Amino acid sequence: MAVYAADPVLRVGVVQQLRPRPEIDLVDADDAGSARVSLVVVDHVDDDVAALLSRLRHNSATRTGLVIGTLGAGGLQRVVECGVTAVLRRAEADQDQLLRLVLATGNGEGMLPGDLLGDLLHHVGGLRRSALDPGALPLSTLTTREADMLRLVSEGMDTAEIARKTSYSERTVKNVLHEVITRLQLRNRAHAVGYALRNGLI
């Protein structure tokens, strides 16, 4: 198992809890790419964490578990899209729970706090309804962040203005809007705004 942490203190804390457990074989940073399980320990999911999770997803040798402080709106969908199947809140991360998370991840099993499991089932139900009724709008067509940014586009703001207003980087704003346009097969930002307005999403 390899541990990736937002800061050295977090990493040391997790490693010290898991090192005594005979079920766990911790690998050095040099061998992290070949670890069967990658455990990512962070306060929240930002663009850098999402990029790390995506890199790990493309490494077929490893499966990824996540220990997180807070998972904001749309956060669960984001980490699931990055290939994470097991999530534990840091406040609940004692030695036994960490071991359970690592073993579940290694076995390819899912593990979520109860409230997040409810959110995921609600999301899957929405996707199922939209598949059964192609004319119906999927419940998760836009995340809160995507809707907020499209709303600002509809108010005439450019990328730099949206970045200042939302406290995201300009790169993030461009990436979010590009993702919406690509996912919904739209032509440009104006088309995306029109689509969102017509469907009552903003």
**85 assigned to some structural domain:** yes
Please give the pLDDT value at position 168.
92
**Averaged pLDDT for residues 66-70:** 91
Look up the CATH number of the domain holding residue 184. Answer: 1.10.10.10
Residues 81 and 14 in one domain: yes
**Averaged pLDDT for residues 5-24:** 89
| Domain total of the chain | 2
**131 assigned to some structural domain:** no
For residues 79 and 40, the answer to whether their CB atoms sit within 8 Å is no
H-state helical runs in 87-167:
95-106, 114-132, 144-154, 159-166
Cβ-based neighbour number of residue 27 at 10 Å:
16
Report whether pLDDT(137) > 50. no
Q: Comparing C-alpha atoms, which of 69, 70, 85 is closest to residue 13?
A: 69
Where among 73, 99, 117 does a domain terminate? 117
Look up the CATH number of the domain holding residue 103. Answer: 3.40.50.2300
The parent domain of residue 34 ranges over 2-117
Residues 161 and 65 in one domain: no
Residues 27 and 96 in one domain: yes
Q: Which one is predicted more confidently, 179 or 123?
A: 179
Residue type, 108: G
Residues 26 and 106 in one domain: yes
Residues 16 and 58 in one domain: yes
Residues 65 and 110 in one domain: yes
Question: To 5 degrees, how large is the angle CA 105–CA 114–CA 14?
Answer: 45
**127 assigned to some structural domain:** no
pTM equals: 0.58
Mean pLDDT value across the chain? 84
Please write the tens of the pLDDT for every residue from 165-187: 999 999 999 999 998 888 888 88
Please give the pLDDT value at position 129.
52
**7 assigned to some structural domain:** yes
Residues 158 and 106 in one domain: no
**Averaged pLDDT for residues 67-90:** 83
